[in-house]
């Protein structure tokens, strides 16, 4: 923390203070909220809505605390309406955001689905991220490994991945560098805070 309570520049881009933990974090690890004209607290995942931003760490415990302890009212400095299911709403919105980004990435040729195609990209070292359905068979998923120094995304369901690829369900997918891949990884990391079990390392090693 710098002088006057201002966050130091750690080279990670803009930072903001979480109203739940009091910690200063890169905005990529936070969810922005604004207060609408009707005094209702609204998630602003894209960070583009007008108004003063209120920031909360992208985790379910932080969001639950902000809702239960009335921290949005304190941050806004006036009465606000906070939906009791706000953490669930944020999770749903983030999941749909990740699905949409993967879909766009697929259309740009930077994402594939299906065991054989994913295995091929991994073997050729084209993939920088392995994506596997949270409800897929653990035995089947263990046959594929996260790319070296790459990313693992494992907290979307088979139905959600299916939406991204225009199929009923998808278990295995891969992303390669370029296109929207970095945005997919960043948004998926925020979603992980609301979905993944505590202690999940976010990486899968093959056998």
DSSP reduced 3-state for 186: helix
Domain containing residue 40 = 3-83
- Do 93 and 191 belong together in one domain? yes
- Residues 10-49 have pLDDT tens digits of 445 799 999 999 999 999 999 999 999 999 999 999 999 9
What residues have CB less than 8 Å from 199, skipping those under 6 apart? none
204 within a domain of the structure (yes/no): no
Residue 85: the pLDDT is 94
164 within a domain of the structure (yes/no): yes
Q: What is the 3-state secondary structure (H, E, C) of 12-40?
A: CCCEEECCCCCCEEEHHHEEEEEECCCCE
CATH number of the domain within which 65 lies: 3.30.1230.10
- How many domains are there within the chain? 2
- Do 100 and 186 belong together in one domain? yes
What's the pTM? Answer: 0.86
How is residue 153 annotated by DSSP? E
- Do 79 and 151 belong together in one domain? no
Domain boundary among 83, 105, 126: 83
Residue 7: the pLDDT is 40
- Residues 54-112 have pLDDT tens digits of 999 999 999 999 999 999 999 999 999 999 999 999 999 999 999 999 999 999 999 99
- What CA–CA distances, in Å, run from 140 to 116, 126, 136? 12, 21, 8
201 within a domain of the structure (yes/no): no
The β-bridge partners of 54 are 33
The band of 201, judged by pLDDT with boundaries at 50, 70 and 90, is very low
């Amino acid at each position: 923390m710098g002088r006057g309570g201002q966050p130091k520049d750690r080279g990670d881009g803009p930072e903001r203070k979480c109203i739940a933990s009091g910690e200063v974090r890169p905005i990529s690890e936070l969810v922005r909220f604004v207060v609408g004209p009707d005094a209702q607290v609204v998630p602003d995942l894209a960070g583009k809505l007008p108004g003063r931003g209120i920031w909360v760490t992208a985790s379910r415990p932080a969001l639950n605390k902000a809702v239960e302890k009335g921290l949005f009212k304190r941050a806004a400095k006036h009465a606000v309406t906070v939906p009791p299911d706000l953490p669930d709403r944020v999770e749903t919105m983030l999941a749909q955001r990740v699905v949409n980004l993967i879909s766009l990435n697929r259309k740009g040729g930077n994402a594939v689905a299906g065991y054989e195609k994913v295995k091929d990209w991994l073997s050729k070292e084209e993939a920088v991220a392995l994506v596997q359905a949270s409800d897929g068979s653990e035995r089947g998923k263990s046959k594929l490994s996260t790319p070296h120094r790459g990313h693992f995304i494992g907290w979307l369901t088979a139905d959600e991945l299916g939406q991204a690829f225009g199929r009923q369900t998808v278990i295995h997918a891969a992303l390669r560098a370029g296109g929207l891949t970095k945005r997919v990884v960043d948004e998926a990391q925020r979603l992980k805070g609301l979905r993944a079990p505590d202690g999940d390392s976010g990486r899968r090693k093959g056998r």
